[in-house]
Amino acid sequence: MSRAASPPSGLPPLDAESAAHARTVRDHLAREIAEAENGFMPFEQWMQLALYAPGLGYYAAGNTKFGADLPSGDFTTAPELTPLFGQTLARQAAQILALSGGDAILEFGAGSGALAASILPALAGMGVFPRYLILEVSADLRARQQERLADHRDRVTWLDALPEDFSGCILANEVLDAMPATLFQWDEAGRLRELGVRLEGPDFAWAERPAPAGLASIVAQRMPPLPGYRSEINLRAEAWLRQMGGWLRKGAALLIDYGFPRAEYYHPQRAEGTLMCHFRHHAHADALAHPGLQDITAHVDFTAMADAALEGGLDVLGYASQARFLMNAGLPELLMACAGNGAGTAAAGRAMSAAQKLLSEAEMGELFKVLAVGRGIDAPLMGFTRGDRRGRL
């Protein structure tokens, strides 16, 4: 399969600075592809470099634009939308801290620092003062987080590597979807092909090769060989979760992301996969466009994540839609308090509309899920008391 990689029409034009950065990233990627075996770069490596190549990748070069109100922003996440999200998570985090006896929260991929900025004051309001650790792969975002969280300097520490031993609460909001995924396609003869990128003159183009035997065997265990069907598998995210079993001594991780259980993920009708790119609030599926300037994501196969946690020796503690989780963990009460304090004000109106986005089935409420995995947690977690869908994983 080969598809020209010109940017999809309809994307906003690049300003001079962005265009110059895009050229530098393209040159770097082109050199890497030229040096790759048979001139083929597996998509997973493309996604890794396009997002995380130091000083170049989307998350690593100051290009990440979070923000609901920013016309030039690329996408909005729940903690950016409203502090109510972090305030609600704080309630669940407090319960996990109490049940685990741990004194720390560890957030992966903290973005602009918005989640920490809403959780820490909410916990303080409950008389809970944990250490707050952040593990962030992007040096640029780490610097932004340090600036944003300057007022919480005494509580927050940035880690350079995974801890050897951890007890407490782990948070990862929209991190699994940002981990590089492997792209595959079944051919007409029922053989698995791995998709990647090659050079076609000065342009990037899609390419394919026979999938390595290991990949073919894993995919074949998860879905039937549907001719022409293309999708993703996130082996890195699975490895990350399996590895958590080695360092999480007692506590739970809340993994929040968009995705589905396996039967829906590899549904015959989802024949083009789930790859999604974001550029200045435009969502499209061309992962070869604007490398270094756009976000690239793949939805999460939550069955694979739960299985990886089990393989790592962890328990699966809950799985629910974001709407159900937030309702269970007390968002309605927080919203009522917020509306009561400032009834009729613009702030109360904004809070109400943000809560609607978090909860609505048509927005983030149903597509986003919360998976809790952990060890040594003996009581039900409050976020899953109703609507726990573990049975569907």
Ligand X SMILES: C[S@@+](CC[C@H](N)C(=O)[O-])C[C@H]1O[C@@H](n2cnc3c(N)ncnc32)[C@H](O)[C@@H]1O
Q: Does residue 141 interact with ligand X by CB under 6 A?
A: yes
CA distance 1 to 328: 46
Asked if 182 and 46 touch (Cβ cutoff 8 Å), the reply is no
Nearer to ligand X, 108 or 206 (CB): 108
Q: Which residues, numbered 101-120, are part of the site for ligand X (CB under 6 A)?
A: 108-111, 114-115
Q: What is the DSSP letter of 363?
A: T
Residue of 87, 138, 294, 303 that binds ligand X (CB under 6 A): 138
Report yes or no: 353 and 345 within 8 Å, Cβ to Cβ: no
CA-to-CA distance for 269 and 353, rounded, in angstroms?
Answer: 33
Please, which residue, 175 or 211, has the CB nearer to ligand X? 175
Minimal distance in Å, beta carbon 263 to ligand X? 26
Closer CB to ligand X, residue 137 or residue 339?
Answer: 137
d(CA 25, CA 133): 31
Q: Point out which span in 41-49, 130-138, 190-198, 202-210 binds ligand X (CB under 6 A).
A: 130-138
CB 140, min distance to ligand X, A: 9
Binding string to ligand X for residues 38 to 77, with x set by CB under 6 A, is what?
Answer: ---------------------x------x----------x
| DSSP state string for 209-267 | EEPPHHHHHHHHHHS---TT-EEEE-HHHHHHHHHHHHHEEEEEEEEEEEEE-HHHHT-
Tokens coding 362: 């048509």
How many of the chain's residues bind ligand X (CB under 6 A)?
21
Kindly state the tokens that stand for 385: 């008391």
- Of the pair 259, 388, the CB lying nearest ligand X is at 259
CB of 15 to ligand X, least distance (A): 23
Least Å from the CB of residue 79 to ligand X: 5
> Contact at 8 Å (CB) between 359 and 85?
no
Tokens 């183009």 -> residue: 205
351 interacts with ligand X by CB under 6 A: no
Nearer to ligand X, 105 or 211 (CB): 105
Helices in the chain by DSSP H: which ranges?
16-35, 43-52, 78-81, 83-100, 114-125, 139-148, 213-222, 235-247, 262-265, 302-311, 322-328, 331-341, 346-359
Q: Is residue 89 near ligand X by the rule CB under 6 A?
A: no
25/178 with CB nearer ligand X: 178
Q: Under the criterion CB under 6 A, does residue 204 sit at the interface with ligand X?
A: no
* Among 179, 197, 219, 235, interactor with ligand X by CB under 6 A: 179
Give the one residue of 36, 137, 276, 310 binding ligand X; rule: CB under 6 A.
137
Is 319 in a helix, a strand, or coil?
Answer: strand
Q: Examine residue 174 and tell whether it contacts ligand X (CB under 6 A).
A: yes
Shorter beta-carbon distance to ligand X: residue 179 or 372:
179
By beta-carbon proximity to ligand X, the closer residue of 187 and 366 is 366
Q: Which is nearer to ligand X, 173 or 303 (CB)?
A: 173
Name which of 173, 145, 176 is nearest 76 in CA terms: 173
Place of tokens 């975002």: 141
- The verdict on 178 binding ligand X (CB under 6 A) reads yes
**Structure tokens that stand for 111 in this block:** 């973005």
Binding site for ligand X (CB under 6 A): 59, 66, 77, 79-80, 108-111, 114-115, 135-138, 141, 173-175, 178-179
